[in-house]
Amino acid sequence: MPLTPEQEAEIAEARLHPRPTLRAVAEGMERHLYLAHPVLDHGFVRVIDYMGDDAAITQAARVSYGRGTKAVSNDEGLIRYLMRHWHSTPFEMCEVKFHVKLPVFVARQWIRHRTANVNEYSARYSILDREFYIPAPEHLAAQSTVNNQGRGEPLQGEEAQRVLDWLREDAARAYDHYEAMLSREGQQGLARELARMNLPANIYTQWYWKIDLHNLFHFLRLRADAHAQYEIRAYAEAMCGIVRDWVPLAWAAFEDYRLGGVTLSAKAVEVVKRRLAGEAVTQETSGMSKGEWREFEGVWG
């Protein structure tokens, strides 16, 4: 289960006692505070704390740019200008701290984003719970034939069931041995920091993850993309809903210019110009590699 009854009770108690504050408050984010958003089979994402809102972004921009912002008549226009021209520091004025429960293999992919502050549950000091990520059948797929780090067609029938059975059996066996190594009858048992090495990568861990909005947008641009691995994308999509409520103006600009936009190389710009002029451009005459051309056609046809 994502949260224990004790944790649920603790969250309910915290939400019953709001505190007055003089700092900026984002009403949309207040609705998310402490609440756990379920992800995968046992995971979740929840907001522990945050700082700033849309106004904090424009405030910072106007301090640093001074008169340069007077041509922009409103906060929405200024935020869109900042996003459009890849300004970063105004978005760094907002921060958020998440509590995330996730499989270890997802955490190892996630930690590649080194622009956050992280504190993870320690299996040197504590015993990990018997909780493992077991994919839903529709998320079991063969290796992609065109992408070395992606999935292809879903597994079917007996093959899918065979993989699911192995995942469950291997996880259960590894945890049984983990428990046995920790506390054997009449013996001292193995140190926790050693016993953990036998656990599979689909066991769940937890961490606190604090990041500013600029770097969070970078994380979401990559991990909420349709090409991202499903498991980390599920977490990114949950976080997208939270950020949308927290900073709606910044989110709208991010969605328009980053999630829904594309970046063109100089060669791609030239191909678009040639096509608009009526020329039939092919991969061979474009100056692009086959991979570049495939990605270009994926957007422009």
Residues 237 and 185 in one domain: no
Name the average pLDDT for the chain: 89
Residues 82 and 210 in one domain: yes
Residues 50 and 125 in one domain: yes
pLDDT in tens, 45-68: 999 999 999 999 999 998 866 555
∠ Cα 259 261 266 (to 5°): 135
Long-range CB contacts for residues 62-66, cutoff 8 Å, separation at least 24: 64/89, 64/90
Question: What domain range includes position 117?
Answer: 1-133+202-261
Output the pTM of the full model: 0.88
Residues 224 and 243 in one domain: yes
Q: Which of 67, 182, 75 is nearest to 124 (CA)?
A: 182
Residues 207 and 195 in one domain: no
Q: Is residue 138 part of a domain?
A: no
Total domains, the chain: 3
Q: Is residue 139 part of a domain?
A: no
Residues 272 and 257 in one domain: no
Residues 241 and 116 in one domain: yes
Q: Is residue 164 part of a domain?
A: yes
223 is catalytic: yes
Q: What is the mean pLDDT of residues 268-288?
A: 92
**Dihedral angle of Cα 145, 148, 149, 150, to the nearest 10 degrees:** -10
Catalytic residue among 223, 233, 274, 294, which? 223
Q: Which of 202, 2, 244 is nearest to 109 (CA)?
A: 202
The whole-angstrom separation of Cα 120 and Cα 108 is 11
Predicted local confidence at residue 72, as pLDDT = 46
Residue with tokens 């791609």: 268
Q: Is residue 8 part of a domain?
A: yes
Coil/strand/helix, residue 200: coil
Alpha helices in the chain (DSSP H): 5-15, 27-30, 54-65, 75-84, 104-110, 157-182, 192-195, 213-223, 230-246, 248-254, 266-276, 283-286, 290-300
Residue 187 has pLDDT above 80, yes or no: no
Residues 58 and 175 in one domain: no
The whole-angstrom separation of Cα 143 and Cα 147 is 8
Q: What is the mean pLDDT of residues 176-197?
A: 85
Write out 55-86 in H/E/C secondary structure: HHHHHHHHHHHHHHHCCCCCHHHHHHHHHHCC
